[in-house]
Structure 1
Amino acid sequence: MRPARALIDFEALRHNYRLAREVSGAKALAVVKADAYGHGAVRCAEALEDEANGFAVACIEEALQLRAAGIRKPILLLEGFFEADELELIQAHDFWTVVHANWQLDAIERASLRKPLTVWLKLDSGMHRVGLHPAEYRDAYQRLKASGKVEKIVLMSHFARADELHCASSAEQVAVFEQARAGFGDEVSLRNSPALLGWPQVPSDWVRPGIMLYGATPFEQAHPLADRLKPVMTLESKVISVRELPAGQPVGYGARFVTKRPTRVGVVAMGYADGYPRHAPTGTPMAIDGQPSRLIGRVSMDMLTVDLTDLPQAGLGSRVELWGKQVLASDVAAQAATIPYQIFCNLRRVPLIYS
């Protein structure tokens, strides 16, 4: 069978969750949306269920998948519900839901519910994506309280620039949030991965670790807490062909790489159809049998090429780490002008092997 595969390390996953709890001193929802950022939502939730305070997903389809697999811990719908009739499923499966718009408030007030809901009331404190305007927030809170259909409210917002550690934006958003919730005694949730690691002064009874759960840093620069994360996914394959080329020979589509010296070229069973970034340039790091090497030439759909010239022991069948414990996903993403979130979520066709 094709040797491309992704190894998923559950102990690293649990380590990263425990780190989130340790550094925040708060309860933590493990964010497993988008199939756990490509790591497999059901299996990751199963690995964390004994210690996680709960889970967070984007939508009800993802939540139903977890319930069908037997996950019983609380599950928060981060985008809330999209149609009023979803409230029946939310109630039936004991989901928690974000409320970020007035029409959702209207739907809750009109709904016939057998038991009250847990609502996370979202404020747009400055990201301007979803969330209630600060001028609407107090009224929305009071409507939920008066409806008789809500058992618990958690007050939440989301940062736009928490990964920029010297940017004033996050402090400004906290100030907006604090003003909007003045006088409310409910629990709050503000900190996602970058805020959890980089903004310890931000109040949060609940934190929402996402990318850090999978062992990738949310920051462009080194950070002492992010350095304690353990990569969960190792994407690997093998060398399936070797070419010996003289100087001056093009390699791959578009002749994007031309040999400057006699070069041993290894062909690896991995391409953009597997989720490896097509725009990764020559020089993107990878490891061959544990030794550092580099991508050369353009990534194609099913294959890519690597430089074996300085690795005389490497050849047909050599193991290639595309990212993982030796080659950090964040470094690969930076070379490809993207972020680790995207390269994880783009993974496909590659079997996930759990341990």
Structure 2
Amino acid sequence: MKWSSWIEVNLDSLAHNYKQLVSLTTAELCPVVKSDAYGHGAPVVVRFLHRLGAKLFAVSSVEEALTIRELSQAPLLLLTPPLHEQIPLVIKHRLIPTIESAEQVSLFERAADKHFPLPVHLKVDTGLGRLGIKPNDAVALGERIARSAKLQLAGVFTHFAEGSSSSRTARQLRTFLAVKEAFAQAGLNNLIWHAANSAAFCLGPHTHLDMVRIGTLLYGQGKGADELQLKETWALYAKVISVRRISAGSSVGYGGTYKAHRDMLVGVVPIGYSDGFTMEPQSTPAVQTARVVSRIVKGEKPQAFVDGQPVAVVGKAAMNLTILDLSAVPHPSPGLPVRLIARRASINRDLPKVYLKDGKPYCTWWNGRLYHPSAQPFDRTHSNLYDRVRML
């Protein structure tokens, strides 16, 4: 299928990053796959990394977990407590919930069935002030869970408010380790203790404990990615659908906020702010130049590339369309691929995701289905679908 706009995910780079990070710690590595695996397509990413050896994955919600269950039965940790009415789904699909109160323990016990004992993780609030039980109350809740015939206390965790700050993280870590010692004194042992995210991971092994929850670094981004020799895993593309010449002084885009200061060759790509590709208005060529210079000074990347060369966005990005200055591109025509820079987790999840392996298209995830790279997704015959048992 020839897509007009799509995401490419490099599975070789993802595997490299996973193996590289695993080699840098003695702790278990738990890939964080919330927000559709940071825009990479969580169902395929989980299945792929599970085959590489990842034993536990972290998601944000029951809804995210159920999407992943379409392709994988890998263990999934819910980083946030489920709603009361979602508890039956947690039990049915063998998800690992976060517990932060005795009330939740009672709710799970009342919903008990043949699937129990259900493993749970207890969350402790050591300073973020968002979720989790207070440190002084953690042991009592841990003992309450341990007494339950329906639940199994499998782990205890916290979340750092500023993982890249060594001093603030150190304070939270001391609080968490004090809780760990109190659990040991109460006879609550053989638990998975985890606190470090990607930023805290880079502070050193003292933050790693039994398990690290890695999201940003796994996908080749964040502070430390270059030093750790991690690779980019994700790219957004769209193909030019129209090319036209405009004269100097012509207005471009909604509101006429951009006026061409010279004769130009512009192209339109079928992607816009409804897809998560948003650009600020560029009202004049002078303002556009100033913003480009500002981005260079700040070390920010341009937002569009053709064959590795930056091209400017002109005018405002519309809901579904964006206009590019292709004047410096030799012989541009419809079908020309353009790489676009955008926030991965903000990109429209309905965009097809094409997975590359050994430099070639390996499979496509689109509209909740997995396709062979040569298939036509609009033809819904089973022959176009990969065998989900053997895939990845």
User: Is TM-score (shorter-chain normalized) higher than 0.5?
Assistant: yes
2:180 paired with 1:175: no
Give the structure-2-normalised TM-score.
Answer: 0.75
Matching of residue 216 in structure 1 with residue 221 in structure 2: yes
Residue 79 of structure 1 is matched in structure 2 by: 80
Q: Which amino acid aligns with 1:37?
A: Y
- Do structure 1's residue 196 and structure 2's residue 198 form an aligned pair? no
Q: What SS does the corresponding residue of 1:168 show, helix, strand or coil?
A: helix
**Closer/same/farther in 2, CA of residues 306 and 353 from structure 1, 3 Å limit:** same
CA distance in 2, matches of 1:200, 1:258: 54
Counterpart for residue 239 of structure 1: 240
After TM superposition, give the deviation of residue 166 of structure 1 in Å. 4.2
- 2:104 aligns to what? 104
> Which of 318, 326, 331 matches 2:336?
318
1:205 pairs, out of 200, 207, 210, with 210
Deviation at 1:46, TM superposition (A): 1.6
Structure 1 gap ranges (5+)? 324-331, 333-339
Which stretch of structure 1 is more off in the superposition, 6-15 or 282-291?
282-291
Letter in 2 for 1:288: V
Asked whether the equivalents of residues 6 and 350 of structure 1 are also in contact (C-alpha less than 8 Å), the reply is yes
Q: Secondary structure at the match of 2:240?
A: strand
Q: Runs of 5+ in structure 2 lacking a partner?
A: 283-287, 293-301, 357-392
Give the Cα separation in 2 of the matches to 1:235 and 1:182: 47
Equivalence map 1:1-355=2 (5 Å): 3-50=4-51, 51-69=53-71, 71-83=72-84, 86=87, 88-108=88-108, 110=110, 112=112, 114=114, 115-162=116-163, 165-166=164-165, 168-183=167-182, 184=184, 185=189, 186-217=191-222, 219=223, 224-225=227-228, 228-279=229-280, 282=288, 283=292, 284-323=302-341, 332=342, 340=343, 343-355=344-356
**What's the secondary structure of 2:142's corresponding residue?**
helix
SS in 1 for 2:14: helix
TM (norm. structure 1) is 0.82
How far the C-alpha of 1:299 sits from its partner, in A, is: 0.6
SS in 2 for 1:182: helix
Counterpart CA distance in 2 for 1:352 and 1:48 is 17
CA distance in 1, matches of 2:5, 2:67: 26
1:350 Cα offset (Å): 1.9
- Measure the CA separation in 2 of the matches of 1:286 and 1:304: 11
Correspondence for 1:326:
none
2:173 & 2:30 partners in 1: Cα distance? Answer: 20
Which deviates more, 25-34 or 120-129?
25-34
- The farther-off stretch of 12-21 and 281-290 is 281-290
Q: Give aligned-pair identity as a percent.
A: 32
Question: Secondary structure of 2:69's match?
Answer: helix
What secondary structure, in the 3-state scheme, does the structure 2 residue paired with 1:316 have? Answer: coil
Q: Distance in 1 between matches of 2:256 and 2:42?
A: 40
Aligned residues: 330
Say which is worse superposed, 204-213 or 56-65, in terms of deviation: 56-65
For the pair shown, which has the larger CA radius of gyration, 1 or 2? 2
Helix, strand or coil for the counterpart of 2:129? coil
Residue in 2 that maps onto 1:335: none
2:315 and 2:59 map into 1 onto residues whose CA distance is: 38
Deviation at residue 95 of structure 1 after TM alignment = 2.6
Give the secondary structure class of the aligned counterpart of 2:81.
coil
199 and 306 in structure 1: CA distance in 2 versus 1, 3 angstrom threshold: farther
Q: Pairwise CA RMSD of aligned residues?
A: 2.7
Quote the offset at 1:252 in angstroms. Answer: 1.0
